[in-house]
Chains A and B, each alone.
Chain A
Amino acid sequence: MPAVSKGDGMRGLAVFISDIRNCKSKEAEIKRINKELANIRSKFKGDKALDGYSKKKYVCKLLFIFLLGHDIDFGHMEAVNLLSSNKYTEKQIGYLFISVLVNSNSELIRLINNAIKNDLSSRNPTFMCLALHCIANVGSREMAEAFASEIPRILVAGDTMDSVKQSAALCLLRLYKTSPDLVLMGEWTSRVVHLLNDQHMGVVTAAISLITCLSQKNPDEFKTCVSLAVSRLSRIVSSASTDLQDYTYYFVPAPWLSCKLLRLLQCYPPPEDGAVKGRLVECLETILNKAQEPPKSKKVQHSNAKNAILFEAISLIIHYDSEPNLLVRACNQLGQFLQHRETNLRYLALESMCTLASSEFSHEAVKTHIETVINALKTERDVSVRQRAADLLYAMCDRSNAKQIVAEMLSYLETADYSIREEMVLKVAILAEKYAVDYSWYVDTILNLIRIAGDYVSEEVWYRVIQIVINRDDVQGYAAKTVFEALQAPACHENMVKVGGYILGEFGNLIAGDPRSSPLVQFNLLHSKFHLCSVPTRALLLSAYIKFINLFPETKATIQEVLRCDSQIRNSDVELQQRAVEYLKLSSIASTDVLATVLEEMPPFPERESSILAKLKKKKGPGAVSVTELEDNKREGGELNGGGDRGPDTAAMAASNASTPSPSADLLGIRSAAPVGAPPASTGSLLVDVFSEAGPAAPSAAVNDDGFLRFVCKNNGVLFENQLLQIGIKSEYRQNLGRMYLFYGNKTSVQFASFTTTVSCPGDLQSHILFVPLCSETKPSNRITQWKAITSSLSP
């Protein structure tokens, strides 16, 4: 039976609501609503001025319709009119309407602000509260402009009633959050802080939320609140359950206020004043002690309130990170909760321990619970709890337990919820790389990742494993073997084909000796997956095939046959067609030397920050980065190699080329003498950066070769360019004298260190060339160094 409204029952509204509830279908509901809307519209437009009660009733009906989910485009004027009524419930409904249906019409805003102003200055506390509630609920910029200067005055005035102060404090908080520039605390700061000492607990409760927010943005101005907060907290924690009367909640003294005080203290470092600090530590110890005492009530409300304070206290202890015995006690308490009957407490304990794991004082203590956490991962029925357990394992991972943790996370991944798989994959990849002592374990782990959750293995992860295999000679053979075996599985994920294709293309020769993985077998294995793969994978496989031709000449005929067939060279995808055609041609016309040069092994990649970490941070937000990761970033940050060594070889060749125009034979000769496509691995210079290009990792020697050929006919232009460096050449020749300028442009935002160039000249050209450095400064971003080379040749 619907209860009769207290005070002033709006029977018409109750009937309307009943009608809606009795509608059998959505259409009937809409029909009834439209009928009512038409009725209300006509009443509002009608000749008779409506009395307050009716207006209130109709506005309330409109509000109800809106809250059901239908759009309302009228009624604002009538609601605003209600604001000026002196009947409380009429005002109330008016305010409710305009706070829910916020309207940006400037005329209405002006009227609303006027009404609010009147109520604020009415000196009637109930009306003042209504107005303040409205401002807090809407919190618009216009309201902030109109009232931001008045509300602090109301807040600290001596004659303001307590209930009004409470509303004023939180109203000001809302305005500060939405328009911080308009809320100037300046002269009010000390009096607002002083509210912490107010005798009315409700005022303190409200004010402290405001102070906490202000302290976060202006810590210095509000730092006097710390000692006041500590004494207040101390008084509450040591009070008996009868002291605080109605502010005691199920035998817990002022739990909300306690939590807020502890939260405020987390805005500041530990107090410097010894006395204050001592009192606070005592407080925290009392809270920890109380957790061990038998509960005063069996009700869940009692334990929730008590534990809420406990968890907040633990958060403070973790934030301070300076009291070892408190940290250890906190860790032990959380350890107890890990096995508590109540799921909520287990969840919160796992969550809290994550933060604890990154503190150096308690990291070891956290690790002692590893078995419990692993057990939680396996047995918890609630997926959110399992996820917290996985997060904790990630946070507590270090060299001593990495293998165990990664193994557990991998087996969890097999049955994990789809929504969390991508994150899990990233985390396993990061841990495997960070704590790998034996890189064959790393390779195994990543390949397992692809096998278990291939769909969720993002590009960053498999790029990374390739990068690492290329950079580490010792694991290349193992990688080739493992990938070969993995590819033999009947159903193999496409990412595995990508990784396999790349690795076999580079290092297939390391396992070619074994007849079970002979070149032809490798090729057939890869090609068997070809038609199942998407275009980017096929492109990668084509590159692997041309590499095979280079590595295993005996496969040349078979592979050329494949490249030659219509489905490749006439493939509708441009990239595939181009590759097939170019690779086919390359394999036909290039001599083995040239082929070997073009397809030489990939040089090691430079060290840089793992993009996997960047991706994880992006997914989870800044809070996800643990302390250990932050340290790693500092270590790995920004080391870039200059690629300066490459230029002068080609420059010298260009010089000799320009002074002696030559038929194509010379070009080939130049190529084989000075490898343009693939610099020797030992210099550590880079050719292709897989990460920044984010495309299939094919060696693109072609770019610089083309540029090179141009100088047969041109004297000026860009000789060489990659992500780091651009080398330009400008040359002029007169009779038997030639002058050549080499310009080195730094394309990065980092200064090159120890940038040197060497020019090597074949044969007796050396004697004819004089090198003059013009300027040897290297600055970041497109600054240039010039070198001048003057040549003279004996014959024109």
Chain B
Amino acid sequence: MQFMLLFSRQGKLRLQKWYVPLSDKEKKKITRELVQTVLARKPKMCSFLEWRDLKIVYKRYASLYFCCAIEDQDNELITLEIIHRYVELLDKYFGSVCELDIIFNFEKAYFILDEFLLGGEAQETSKKNVLKAIEQADLLQEVSNTGLHPESFVNPSCV
């Protein structure tokens, strides 16, 4: 995978993960063009399209578009399921995930993505194992907290 973008129906970018080195200017240009192209698609159209020399696989979940750019020889259908698996992970972590969760906890979205995909490839495809890794990290944090920080809320329960 070369990159993954999450954006709203209004074209607001909620997450951007780049797996190839590009300048900031190029990233902005690609984002602008691709968001426009995908938003112009009608609902019944297929989930794949050719864009520049890449294949784009996208799917809409509620108000968010999940959009991946893969190379010519990559498998489109399995990429669709990568998207679905990522949504499942977010859903399990946040409990019925919605766009707002990703907006307010954007750093968590990146952390979860890194446990699932690395360098553009699937790293761990067991949902259980990925969630376990994330929770272990959360646990580490609570253990190292000697007391509650005045600004944080009451200790949330682990899943």
Contact = CB atoms under 8 A, between A and B. Distances in A.
Interface in A181-231: 201-202, 205-206, 209
Contacts of B77: 304-305, 307-308, 311, 344, 348
A166 B75 contact: no
B107 A206 contact: no
Nearest to A20: B103
B36 interface: no
Contact of B13 (A67, A89, A92, A304): A67
A256 B125 CA distance: 7
Given A11-B151, A88-B144, A384-B45, A301 B125 contact: no
A254 B124 CA distance: 11
A205 B156 contact: no
Given A202-B126, A205-B123, A205-B124, A308 B81 contact: yes
Nearest to A346: B46
Interface string B62-97: 000000000011011110111011000000011100
Given A93-B107, A174-B119, A202-B123, A305 B81 contact: yes
B137 A206 contact: no
B123 A166 contact: yes
Size category of the B interface is 35 or more
Interface string B38-55: 000000111111100100
A259 B21 contact: no
Contacts of A347: 46, 48
B126 A9 contact: no
B128 A246 contact: yes
A265 interface: no
A611 interface: no
B121 A209 contact: yes
Contact of A86 (B44, B111, B144, B156): B144
B61 interface: no
Contacts of B84: 301, 304
Contact of A344 (B46, B127, B138): B46
A133 B82 CA distance: 19
A343 interface: yes
Contacts, number: 193
30 contacts: A2-B100, A3-B94, A3-B105, A6-B108, A8-B149, A17-B103, A67-B106, A88-B141, A89-B137, A96-B107, A96-B111, A133-B114, A136-B118, A139-B119, A201-B125, A201-B126, A206-B121, A206-B123, A249-B125, A257-B125, A304-B77, A304-B78, A304-B84, A308-B81, A343-B45, A344-B46, A381-B44, A382-B46, A385-B46, A621-B53
Contacts of B133: 129, 163
Contact of B126 (A129, A246, A307): A246
Interface string B120-147: 0111111111000100111011101100
Contacts of A92: 107, 111, 137
Contacts of B46: 343-344, 346-347, 382, 384-385
A247 B50 contact: no
Nearest to B143: A88
A379 B107 CA distance: 45
Interface residues of A, number: 78
Interface in A300-356: 301, 304-305, 307-308, 311-312, 343-344, 346-348
A259 B129 contact: no
Given A87-B144, A93-B107, A259-B78, A67 B16 contact: yes
A126 B142 CA distance: 14
Given A5-B108, A254-B125, A348 B138 contact: no
B147 to A, nearest CB: 12
Interface in A238-279: 246-247, 249, 254-257, 259-260, 263
A255 B123 contact: no
A518 B145 CA distance: 99
Contacts of A14: 104
A10 B48 contact: no
A12 B128 CA distance: 32
A60 B126 CA distance: 29
B126 A126 contact: no
A137 interface: yes
Contacts of B145: 8
